[in-house]
Amino acid sequence: MINKTTYILTIIALAIFSCSDEHGALKRDIPPSNEHYAEGFQLLENNCFSCHSPNAALENAIAPTMSAMKEHYVMDDASQAQFTRDLISFLNNPSEENARIPGAVKRFGVMPKMSFSDAEIAKIATYIYYSELDQPGWFEKNYQVEKEKFQAQPDASLTPLEIGKNMAMKTKGVLGKNLLEAINTQGTENALAFCSTRAIALTDSVAASLNARIRRVSDKNRNPDNSANDAELSYIAATKLAIAQGDSPKPQLTQIGDKQVGYYPILTNEMCMQCHGQEETEILPNTLTRIHELYPNDLATGYKVDELRGIWVVEMK
Ligand code: HEC
Ligand code: HEC
């Protein structure tokens, strides 16, 4: 495959694109146009590593490791642009038919849907593409280094809307990880008990660590404590309208008293249907019985994929 011309072109490309800053030695050379590299790590650390371990050696994984993912998405000749398109297409619709890793859905279940813009996914793709997280020893060598750099960076360039979104996504990652663990080890029916006793407590503990107040609310809530107030209901109504018109749902920041409050849409995917889908066809009878026992006034069934299930409400000081 490697003929002389490709070889020479590669050398020229490397000379043009080689990265001369301090982390150049750790990873593949980064084209200078890729200022998104560091942001990509931050997004992964915040939103993906909780389920996709960056440490290939980890056992009891609840999702494919990063290196397994990279192996199936970045084949030898895949361009960065192609990989970015593939990642956008999967993250916009995590589903069995879109999955490429053989057996992953069977083993781990379908990935919960997270809301990211194409621009954010492109940054994530940049990091995965150029970093060596598929190489043996990457975790031991580089993870801590990257993490320290990431923690040293102030959030100054982020808007309050973005800071709130990071908080919501971080909470979502923690909840999602625990939910998948419960489903995989105890089955859907018993995972309900996990949601009913742990969902709010887990949300609160992540919020406390982030020095914010975070809630998940809905117009069709399951837990009576998760009902939306008037301001939240009007955001939900507007967002449902936008989705019905084919627009992508947008988060919103509101000033309430001395607090800034961010609203962030929570959309359904396949994974949610076993507990929030059609009662006759998608929710198993035992699961439905359990839902009715735990939540006699449940409103949260009958959903389809890609609908607004509720919103994150993030109150920042
Ligand atoms: C709550 C846990 C969880 C979080 C958080 C999570 N994932 Fe996943 N992901 C999974 C599970 C479970 C699978 C396995 C199902 C599958 O392969 O479709 C998966 C599969 C994938 C796949 C491979 C799908 C395939 O088989 O082709 C990609 C790519 C992926 N995730 C990217 C991401 C990225 C990027 C993030 C962060 C923005 C992320 N995931 C966050 C649980 C998670
Ligand atoms: C194992 C069953 C199960 C699965 C799967 C599940 N949920 Fe839930 N969900 C629940 C239970 C139980 C509650 C009530 C939690 C509580 O009591 O705090 C809940 C509550 C919620 C709430 C808070 C509002 C309310 O209705 O109380 C949102 C939002 C939500 N789920 C979204 C989702 C989304 C999105 C998915 C898929 C990514 C999902 N859920 C998957 C069982 C499930």
**Tokens 């503990």, residue?**
205
Residue nearest to atom 40 of ligand 1 (CA): 48
User: Which pair of tokens denotes residue 105?
Assistant: 């859905």
Task: Look up the pTM and report it.
Answer: 0.79
Element of type H or E holding 68: helix 66-73
Dist CA 43 CA 47 (whole Å): 6
Q: Who's near 116: CB < 8 A, 6+ residues apart?
A: 43, 47, 91, 124
Count CB atoms within 10 A of the CB of residue 128: 24
- Structural domains in the chain plus CATH codes: 10-147 (1.10.760.10), 164-211+220-316 (no CATH)
Per-residue pLDDT of the chain (317 residues), as tens digits, is 445 555 544 444 443 343 333 333 334 556 655 667 888 998 998 889 888 988 876 667 789 988 889 989 987 678 889 999 999 999 999 999 999 998 888 888 889 888 888 999 999 999 999 888 888 888 888 888 888 887 777 666 788 998 999 899 989 988 998 999 899 888 999 999 888 988 999 999 989 988 999 999 999 999 999 999 999 999 999 999 999 999 989 999 999 999 999 999 999 998 999 999 999 899 999 999 999 999 999 999 999 999 999 999 999 98
Q: Chain-centre distance of CA 258, in angstroms?
A: 30
CA of 127 to the centre of ligand 2 (A): 31
37: which strand partners?
none
Cβ of residue 168 lying under 6 Å from some atom of ligand 2: no
CA of 287 to the centre of ligand 2 (A): 13
Cβ of residue 271 lying under 6 Å from some atom of ligand 2: yes
Q: Taking a C-beta distance cutoff of 8 angstroms, is the pair 174, 280 a contact? A: no
